Amino acid sequence: MTRKDEMKDRVRDAALRFLCDAERDNKFINLAVASGLSQFEDRRDKALFTLLVYGVTEKSITLDYYISKFSSRPLSELERFTKYILRLGFYQLIFMQTPGHAAVNETVALARQKGERGFVNAVLRSYLRSPEVELPKKNRMAEELRLLAQSIADESVVNTVNTPEGAAKSVALVKRLCESADRGGEMIIL
């Protein structure tokens, strides 16, 4: 393996760890990414790290759709680490147009750390055999609103509002967002 390949692997590994840690610690990616960049000197490594972190974050809904289509396990049952490995793999295949064999090999190498090599390999190779997946035709905004509403509807998140009135208003907002998404994204102004 050349030094260039070793650095790419190091960047992918750092992006994987960063994404997992950011989700676990509920960090805002845009605020925390500078700390991840500090470990790289070469601007190309910084660029790849940034592309992977922001790309996987931005496209996570689409990437999760692909994972759910090709995985034998439900997305909700995947460990955070495995989910992000697959997101990175699909991101490279779909949005970076990395050649299939290279993206799979690089992603499977990341999976070695958790003993998920066989599973990750099977999911990504399954995609390579039939990459033509039709994405849902739902209104994109409506789907994103619905997913946003579901993610913030978690009682533990809503209860972090400082006052009972604030919590009640948050719950009402979430319900209205859900209703809005069900109507195709038509927004209700409060």
pLDDT in the model for residue 38: 81
Average of per-residue pLDDT across 96-111 = 90
Q: Give 22's pLDDT tier (boundaries 50, 70, 90).
A: confident
- Distances from the Cα of 176 to the Cα of 2, 140, 146, 182, angstroms: 54, 17, 10, 10
Compute the mean pLDDT over every residue in the chain, rounded to the nearest whole number: 77
pLDDT at 121 exceeding the cut of 90 = yes
Average of per-residue pLDDT across 113-125 = 89
Q: Give 119's pLDDT tier (boundaries 50, 70, 90).
A: very high
CATH superfamily of 3-129: NusB-like (1.10.940.10)
pTM: 0.69
Q: Provide the Cα torsion 112, 126, 72, 142; round to 10°.
A: 110
Length reported for the chain: 190
pLDDT in the model for residue 126: 93
Q: Provide the Cα torsion 111, 113, 116, 122; round to 10°.
A: 30
